[in-house]
Amino acid sequence: MALFKKKGSCHETPSVASSGARKVALVGNPNVGKSVLFNALTGAYVTVSNYPGTSVEVSRGNTVINGEQFEIIDTPGMYSVLPITEEERVAREILLNERPYLVLHVLDARNLERMLPMTLQLIEAELPVVLVVNIMDEAARMGLEIDIALLSERLGIPVIGAATAKKVGLPEIREAISKGTAAAACRFSYSKSLEADLGQISGLLKGEYMLSRKAISILLLQGDKEVAELARGAEGEGYPAIEAVVKEKRFERRESLHLDLSMERKRVVKGVLDGAFKAPAKRVVTLAEKISRLTVRPATGVPLLLIVLYFGLYKFVGDFGAGTLVDLLEEKGFKEFFNPWITGVVKHFVPWEMIQELFIGEYGIITLGIRYAVGIILPIVATFFLFFSMLEDSGYFPRLALLVDRLFKTLGLTGRAVIPMVLGFGCDTMATMVTRTLETVRERVIATLLLALAIPCSAQLGVILALLSKAPGALLVWSLCLLLIFLFIGLLAAKVLPGETPMFYMEIPPMRLPQLSNVLTKTYTRMQWYFMEILPLFVLASVLLWLGKITNFFETMVRALSPVMASLGLPKEVAVAFIFGFFRRDYGAAGLYDLQSHGLLNPRQLTVAAVTLTLFIPCVAQFLIMKKERGWKTAFAIGFFVSALAFGSGWMLNRFLLFTSIL
Amino acid sequence: MKLSDKAEEILEALWIESEENGHGYAELDQMEFAPSDPAYQELSSQALVEIKGGRIYFRPEGREEGRKTIRRHRLAERLMMDVLNIRGESGDIKACQFEHLLNEGVDIKVCTMLNHPSTCPHGKPIPAGDCCEEARKTGDLGVVPLTEFNSGEEGDIAYIQTEDSKKMQKLMAMGVLPGNRITLLQSFPSYIFRVGFSEFAIDSAMAREIFVRR
């Protein structure tokens, strides 16, 4: 699952400077190695942008082969030329509108039988198709024999066997791009009656299309609305007659058109593969499959999940990232070397104390903003994204999704939502953006709410863990509180919000060893995105805090908030952390850290403050993304609800802790 | 002698309370029909039930009659859903009217047509009839939803029954096609199955819509 292949800007930008370069479209199912091939072909010159009018991302890059420049387009995964999802719609739009000079259909050698029907559709559309049978190495390991030459002969198009992850077949693919290929000629036919019906429709078509008339006829028969619109425009006066015939045929075939077509294509594929694809009589069970079994059985899957979380999140991100690295960067790097040095420099060049304050004061841009961003946040987020990208590339997420689907159903979500939820532990802002991959609006709203409320991001998590680990028991109370609120609000949201939870279905790609270069690229691009997003906010926050300090507005705010703090049983200084927290939650948590190190908080106060702050309003960036993805009404509603709930829970927790005197 | 519709409904309610919920009886004042209803008279005069101390019990013949009645009811429900594609509340209401026609061998025909189903659309068991036993003996195990499979069991996909044609297309594009070999790998917490060399996970709602031949 490539969620954030290369995260550039989210603005709708036109394609790479493609001054007439010939376009090559990579198409195929998800998880067949399209992106790996794309990266191998294009190298570093890549743009990622939303396809106009959609939230679907399309990567484009240029490559030069034999002195000629080509634009490579990595289309979203598609299962069929008849689109169902938005991704598939975009992929087909590209085929229809961008007039690719070459279409590279990439498929998984192990699943030839299942994926060839789409090749048939591309051939029947008379597109210039070259078939890339990828992942040949894995297929060979499973004992599958594939006769590439025979396939090519039977299909009537160039076919290349490849293992792009191992760089096998790349020269041949480059060669094929350079040479190009003629529009495919369809060599197979469906049942007589189906062909007769299609002939009747295509005989009436007079317009010019990117796809063959036969393909257009099939899509019309399947009730494809976009193609119907296309035909209405292209046929002009002749359209009503075509529409009438299509209607009649659709009625005649209402019971089973989709099924009939699928069965016909299956029959054709069987013929094509006869003798060209041999599977061993006995299934070879690979090690990856054995591991896969372990990850999905509850008895082994749940302990495995805990192990992954313990070593991945707690040990690697928590101990190593938030502990060792932060110590190194923040304590040693900044406090001992960089800050004293920069303070000297600034004091030397800037004579006015007030301006000195802006850069190197208590809330200085450099001593606070940059220090937080680079010294605390960077190492935590970097380790988290490294961990996340490893999991993503290993194929673990679909397995996790099916493990938690039942539990998530009670919260009004399906297993699919596990990906934004886990990502939320890295960066809630990014996770909120990913909620758009969920199927229904209802699911997206619930996921957005839960992310805003109860999922602490890695930066915040790191600081809070460090903070609470000093007070035994506090960590436990904090985690229990969050878990309870997460489940309670999820259950409530599922009850209150109208609509049904959609069904869950997911392909489970084979488990594989993540490739280091891919993982690093992903981590890097995510880091880059993250840094571009937060650094300006940190600087802005520093400036605002500085302004607040010199104008005494800040003091006023703290005083205004002190009754609220008092009702939570907190000293008034904690208000500072909350004001910080509005800019970024981890900023606020870091503020608590300062307070605690000055000995201003007892364990109870620490726990109450940490819980309230974790639940409290998301950072400015997350709020802005919420507004962008869900609209301002939902965003404000969620923001308001979250703030009220945060202080309400803090108050209750304080009462509870006072009453029971656990801490 | 043919029972009245009301009497049949009382038998069904009593079957659920007494046999499925395991109470062995049903409280009279919790029945749908008032204790004064003549249908009770009808049942007890035919020695099918016994009423004492505000509770209603099966007599041996009555239990058999209850079994048959509930079977007819649930077969009718399946018929509404699987064949006539009438679902939800209207399916339930139609099934209630239809069940009373399923006697004198009509139930066997319907049961055979539906391939001897073992559960109703709500997941409750349909008591097996003689025809089901017969079919099982001759090895004609018929078509069942994927939910009836055990982990590790293999079969052929018979058909996909879903109202959502988009979902159907998606499944077919993923290779879930009639005639393809399917292996159920796991059924909890989600259903995992293999077709060809690919694996898929679906929830139980979806698994109920894929019908497989053992």
Instruction: Give me the CATH number covering residue A242.
Output: 1.10.287
SS3 A37: helix
Within-domain flag for A652: yes
Q: Quick one: pLDDT at residue A332?
A: 87
Same domain (yes/no): A467, A593: yes
Residues A369 and A542 sit within 8 Å (Cβ to Cβ):
yes
Token pair in block for residue A305: 């999940």
- Higher per-residue pLDDT: A525 or A421: A421
Does residue B174 belong to the interface with chain A, where contact is any CB pair within 8 Å?
yes
Token pair in block for residue A395: 């194929």
Contact A111 B198 (CB under 8 A): yes
- Cβ neighbours for A377, distance < 8 A, ≥ 6 positions apart: A459, A534, A586
Contact B165 A507 (CB under 8 A): no
Same domain (yes/no): A651, A565: yes
Q: Closest partner residue to A111 among B167, B188, B196, by Cβ?
A: B196
User: How close A663 comes to chain B (CA, Å)?
Assistant: 38
Within-domain flag for A37: yes
* Parallel, antiparallel or unpaired: strands A68-74 and A22-27: parallel
Distance CA B26, CA B24 (A): 7
Instruction: Give me the CATH number covering residue A121.
Output: 3.40.50.300
Residues A469 and A43 sit within 8 Å (Cβ to Cβ):
no
Using an 8 Å CB-CB cutoff, list chain A residues near B83: none
User: What are A's interface residues with B at a Cβ cutoff of 8 A?
Assistant: 79-80, 82, 84, 110-111, 113-114, 117-118, 142, 258-259, 262-263, 266, 292-293, 296-298, 398, 401-407, 409, 414-415, 503-508
Same domain (yes/no): A253, A399: no
Q: Quick one: pLDDT at residue A484?
A: 94
Within-domain flag for A269: yes
Q: Quick one: pLDDT at residue B103?
A: 75
Q: Closest partner residue to B203 among A258, A259, A503, by Cβ?
A: A503
Last-in-domain residue among A126, A145, A179: A179
Same domain (yes/no): A37, A175: yes
Q: pLDDT tens digits, residue range A498-552?
A: 888 888 888 898 888 888 887 888 888 888 888 887 788 778 878 887 888 888 8
Same domain (yes/no): A45, A115: yes
Same domain (yes/no): A72, A145: yes
Beta bridge partners of B49: B58
User: How sure is the predictor about A16, in pLDDT bands with cuts at 50, 70 and 90?
Assistant: very low
Same domain (yes/no): A566, A640: yes
Whether the pLDDT of residue A439 is over 90: the answer is: no
Dihedral over Cα of B171, B172, B174, B176: its sign: positive
Whether the pLDDT of residue A19 is over 70: the answer is: no
Contact B201 A415 (CB under 8 A): yes
User: How sure is the predictor about A650, in pLDDT bands with cuts at 50, 70 and 90?
Assistant: very high
Cis before residue A351, ω within 30 degrees of 0? Answer: no
Contact A504 B185 (CB under 8 A): no
User: How close A506 comes to chain B (CA, Å)?
Assistant: 5
User: How close A369 comes to chain B (CA, Å)?
Assistant: 46
- In this prediction the pTM is 0.77
Average pLDDT, integer, range A19-41: 88
Q: Quick one: pLDDT at residue A18?
A: 46
Same domain (yes/no): A439, A303: yes
Using an 8 Å CB-CB cutoff, list chain B residues near A121: none
Q: Quick one: pLDDT at residue A318?
A: 81
- Higher per-residue pLDDT: A605 or A119: A119
Angle at A376 between CA A425 and CA A354, to 5 degrees: 130
Of A103-107, A134-138, A561-565, B158-162, least confident by mean pLDDT is B158-162
Average pLDDT, integer, range B47-70: 87
Q: Quick one: pLDDT at residue A155?
A: 95
Within-domain flag for A139: yes
Average pLDDT, integer, range A29-50: 80
Same domain (yes/no): A164, A243: no
- Higher per-residue pLDDT: B178 or A633: A633
- Higher per-residue pLDDT: B65 or A590: B65
Distance CA B149, CA B184 (A): 7
Same domain (yes/no): A157, A76: yes
Q: Closest partner residue to B200 among A82, A407, A508, by Cβ?
A: A508
Q: Quick one: pLDDT at residue A110?
A: 92
Using an 8 Å CB-CB cutoff, list chain A residues near B169: 80, 82, 84, 258
User: How close A118 comes to chain B (CA, Å)?
Assistant: 9
Q: Quick one: pLDDT at residue A380?
A: 85
Q: pLDDT tens digits, residue range A157-206?
A: 999 999 988 889 999 999 999 999 988 888 899 999 999 999 999 999 99
- Higher per-residue pLDDT: A588 or A381: A381
- The domain in which residue A221 lies consists of 192-277
Beta bridge partners of B145: B211
Whether the pLDDT of residue A472 is over 90: the answer is: no
Q: Closest partner residue to B201 among A111, A113, A402, by Cβ?
A: A402
Same domain (yes/no): A167, A211: no
DSSP secondary structure code for residue A437 in this structure:
G
Distance CA A508, CA A257 (A): 28
Contact B174 A79 (CB under 8 A): yes
Chain-wide mean pLDDT for chain B? Answer: 83
Distance CA B47, CA B41 (A): 10
Q: pLDDT tens digits, residue range A285-317?
A: 888 889 999 999 999 999 999 999 889 988 898
Q: Quick one: pLDDT at residue A4?
A: 41
Q: How many domains does chain A have?
A: 3
Within-domain flag for A3: no
Q: What is the largest CA-CA distance in chain B?
A: 64
Within-domain flag for A230: yes
User: How close B212 comes to chain A (CA, Å)?
Assistant: 16
First to last CA, chain B: 39
Within-domain flag for A282: no
Whether the pLDDT of residue B6 is over 80: the answer is: yes
Residues A580 and A616 sit within 8 Å (Cβ to Cβ):
no
Average pLDDT, integer, range A214-239: 93
Last-in-domain residue among A152, A179, A206: A179
Contact A111 B197 (CB under 8 A): yes
Whether the pLDDT of residue A554 is over 80: the answer is: no
Q: Quick one: pLDDT at residue A7?
A: 38
Report the residue of chain B nearest A406, measured CA to CA.
B189
Last-in-domain residue among A246, A277, A308: A277
User: How sure is the predictor about A11, in pLDDT bands with cuts at 50, 70 and 90?
Assistant: very low
DSSP characters for A444-492?
HHHHHHHHHHH---HHHHHHHHHHHTTSTTHHHHHHHHHHHHHHHHHHH
Residues A39 and A173 sit within 8 Å (Cβ to Cβ):
no
> E strand or H helix at A86, and its extent?
helix A86-97
Q: Predicted ipTM?
A: 0.83
Chain B segment 73-112 residues within 8 A of A by beta carbon are none
- Higher per-residue pLDDT: A276 or A283: A276
Average pLDDT, integer, range B175-187: 90
Average pLDDT, integer, range A641-661: 91
Report the residue of chain A nearest B175, measured CA to CA.
A114
Within-domain flag for A9: no
Average pLDDT, integer, range A34-51: 78
Whether the pLDDT of residue A433 is over 90: the answer is: no
In chain B the domains, ranked by start, together with CATH numbers, are 1-141 (1.10.10.10), 143-213 (2.30.30.90)
Same domain (yes/no): A407, A260: no
Q: Quick one: pLDDT at residue B79?
A: 84
Residues A653 and A611 sit within 8 Å (Cβ to Cβ):
yes
